């Protein structure tokens, strides 16, 4: 029955992939859907491609293990995603069309008139490093899910996961992902809301839930105490994840694909509403898990949603609901793989190796790039022992610190120079790599994205101020 539910779900995805395949005639169609997406597809594509297995496995796990203190993560994500929609999305859509840029690296290059190729290539390399890690987190989630559902070894679970991921993205592209994001965004919110609503009466309702949470002394409330350290921790939880939104190419490209910029406010409110509902439900999954597994406990906190579903529902229904994890993971991973494939095709192959490549050749290169990126991520996934939360954190912080500040400066600070842009990206990437080592010598834990984002921003401003005249001379020569 579980295999039947999985087959039924995957059949829907294959059908969507097949129907949209006919619309990918050029690399522009494949990478950005020719900027023809409507507001509601854009909204769900941006948000569904954001969450992945994180919302079903990683986030409920930290709520289950540590308590409501981590709700500040969800609050921070919602607040900064709102800022992303409001301040970044419209300007990025307009400016990327103005420069005829399909990718973030090509936008940076055009915006700062960099003829050296350094800015474009460094952006591609950094994306390749952190996105490959990010994609491997999705494969880890799929491996754990398939291992739990079907009792197969983890390695086989990851292998099956990669076999599910590649085919329909290989034949599809941006439009395929947009339509599957729409379907999976609806299915995701249905599953994440249904499970806590169904489980809550089983633990005695709100009163039973409160009693179970209060009985577990290790759990922290939203504001455990009034110490300065607690408020700094809350600030860290809000900003250390939320700031990352400004530098996530797989989300930013969704903004770039909308047809009418005037529809952006509609997308904003539609998407933010979806995010609030889904994160609230995921929070309740973690809390209800405290009461639900009081007697039996859990061997792996990441399985709080999975084990709750398999306990509450029949094998077929349970497996179908758990396909939401599969769908969320596929949506996120495929968006990330598409970004990397686009970077490798548009920013390396087309501009360095084959400047006269035809549209069909570029389309084929895009699809081959998908395969290469997926294989590298697969190798990382089968060799890691980290949790999904830890892997996603590392990649999210790295991308956010590397690209977030420059995205904001490129849209709003005209005085930003080419050299300042290059310095900011490299600074953010290096801090993301080495901050975990530096932080060991600091008495309090400071999440990587906070120093990475602000030091990168300061570097862009300082170097731009110092090189303004030199950059003007460079632009006059080129």
Minimum mean pLDDT range among 95-99, 153-157, 381-385: 381-385
Q: Is residue 52 within 8 Å of residue 332, measured between CB atoms?
A: yes
pLDDT given for residue 407 in this prediction: 96
How do residues 4-29 score in pLDDT, each as one tens digit?
Answer: 776 776 677 667 666 655 554 444 44
Poorest-pLDDT segment among 121-130, 199-208, 337-346, 358-367: 358-367
The larger pLDDT score, comparing residue 269 to residue 321, is at 269
Percentage above 70 pLDDT, the chain: 85
27-31, 99-103, 448-452, 473-477 — most confident range: 448-452
pLDDT above 90 as % of the chain? 33
Q: Which pLDDT score, from 0 to 100, does residue 75 have? A: 96
Question: Does residue 459 register a pLDDT over 90?
Answer: yes
Please answer whether residues 450 and 243 qualify as being in contact, where contact means their C-beta atoms are separated by less than 8 angstroms.
yes
Mean pLDDT along residues 167-180: 62
How confident is the model over 232-248, as a mean pLDDT? 93
All structural domains of the chain: 2-106+117-385 (1.20.1730.10)
Query: Is 28 within 8 Å of 253 (Cβ atoms)?
Result: no
Judge contact between 457 and 424, C-beta under 8 A. yes
pLDDT band at 426 (very low <50, low <70, confident <90, very high): very high
Distances (CA, A) of 237 to 242, 250, 314: 8, 22, 37
Average pLDDT estimate for 198-220: 88
SS3 of 28-89: HHHHHHHHCECHHHHHHHHHHHHHHHHHCCHHHHHHHHHEHHHHHHHHHHHHHHHHHHHHHH
* pTM confidence score: 0.85
Q: What are 62-75's pLDDT values in tens digits?
A: 999 888 999 999 99
Q: Place 274 in a pLDDT band, splitting at 50, 70 and 90.
A: very high
At residue 29, the pLDDT reads 47
Residue 195 banded pLDDT, cuts 50, 70, 90: very high
Q: Report, in this order, helix, strand and coil percent for the chain, each rounded to 5.
A: 85, 0, 15
Phi, psi of 102 (to 5 degrees): -95, -20
Alpha-carbon distance values, 25 to 200, 355, 356, 368, 380 (Å): 49, 19, 18, 16, 33
What band does 425 get if pLDDT is binned at 50, 70 and 90?
very high
More confident residue, 195 or 38: 195
- pLDDT for res 26: 47
281 CB-near residues (< 8 Å, 6+ apart): 189, 192, 193, 195, 196
Q: What's the confidence (pLDDT) of residue 169?
A: 58
């Amino acid at each position: 029955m579980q295999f039947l539910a999985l087959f039924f779900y995957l059949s829907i995805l294959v059908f969507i992939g097949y129907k949209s395949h006919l619309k990918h005639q050029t690399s522009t169609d494949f990478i950005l859907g020719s900027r023809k997406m409507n507001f509601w597809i854009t909204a769900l594509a941006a948000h569904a491609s954001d969450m992945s297995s994180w919302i079903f496995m990683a986030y409920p796990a930290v709520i289950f293990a540590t308590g409501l203190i981590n709700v500040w993560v969800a609050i921070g994500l919602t607040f900064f995603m709102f800022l992303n929609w409001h301040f970044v999305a419209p300007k990025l859509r307009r400016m990327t069309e103005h420069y005829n840029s399909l990718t973030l690296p090509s936008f940076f290059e055009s915006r700062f008139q960099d003829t050296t190729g350094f800015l474009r290539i460094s952006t591609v390399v950094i994306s390749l490093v952190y996105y490959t890690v990010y994609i491997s987190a999705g494969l880890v989630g799929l491996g754990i899910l398939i291992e739990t559902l079907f009792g197969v070894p983890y390695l086989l679970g990851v292998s099956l996961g990669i076999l599910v991921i590649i085919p329909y993205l290989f034949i599809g592209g941006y439009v395929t992902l947009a339509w599957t994001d729409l379907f999976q965004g609806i299915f995701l919110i249905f599953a994440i809301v249904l499970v806590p609503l169904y489980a809550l009466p089983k633990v005695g309702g709100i009163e039973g839930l409160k009693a179970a949470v209060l009985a577990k002394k290790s759990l922290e409330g939203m504001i455990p105490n009034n110490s300065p350290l607690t408020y700094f921790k809350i600030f860290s939880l809000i900003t250390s994840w939320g700031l990352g939104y400004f530098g996530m190419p797989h989300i930013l490209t969704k903004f770039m694909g909308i047809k009418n910029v005037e529809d952006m406010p509609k997308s904003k409110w539609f998407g933010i509403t979806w995010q609030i509902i889904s994160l609230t439900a995921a929070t309740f999954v973690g809390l209800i898990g405290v009461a639900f597994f009081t007697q039996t406990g859990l061997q792996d906190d990441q399985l709080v949603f999975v084990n709750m579903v398999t306990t509450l529902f029949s094998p077929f229904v349970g497996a179908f609901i758990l396909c939401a994890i599969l769908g969320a993971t596929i949506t996120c991973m495929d968006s990330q793989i598409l970004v990397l494939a686009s970077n490798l095709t548009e920013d390396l192959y087309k501009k360095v190796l084959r400047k006269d490549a035809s549209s069909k050749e570029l389309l084929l290169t895009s699809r081959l790039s998908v395969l290469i990126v997926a294989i590298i991520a697969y190798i990382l996934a089968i060799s890691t022992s980290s949790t999904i939360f830890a892997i996603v954190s590392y990649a999210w912080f790295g991308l956010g610190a590397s690209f977030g500040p420059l995205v904001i400066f490129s849209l709003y600070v005209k005085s930003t120079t080419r050299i300042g842009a290059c310095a900011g990206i490299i600074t953010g990437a290096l801090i993301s790599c080495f901050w975990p080592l530096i932080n060991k010598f600091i008495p309090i834990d400071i999440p990587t994205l906070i120093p990475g984002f602000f030091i990168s921003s300061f570097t862009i401003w300082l170097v731009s101020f110092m090189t303004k005249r030199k950059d003007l001379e460079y632009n006059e020569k080129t």
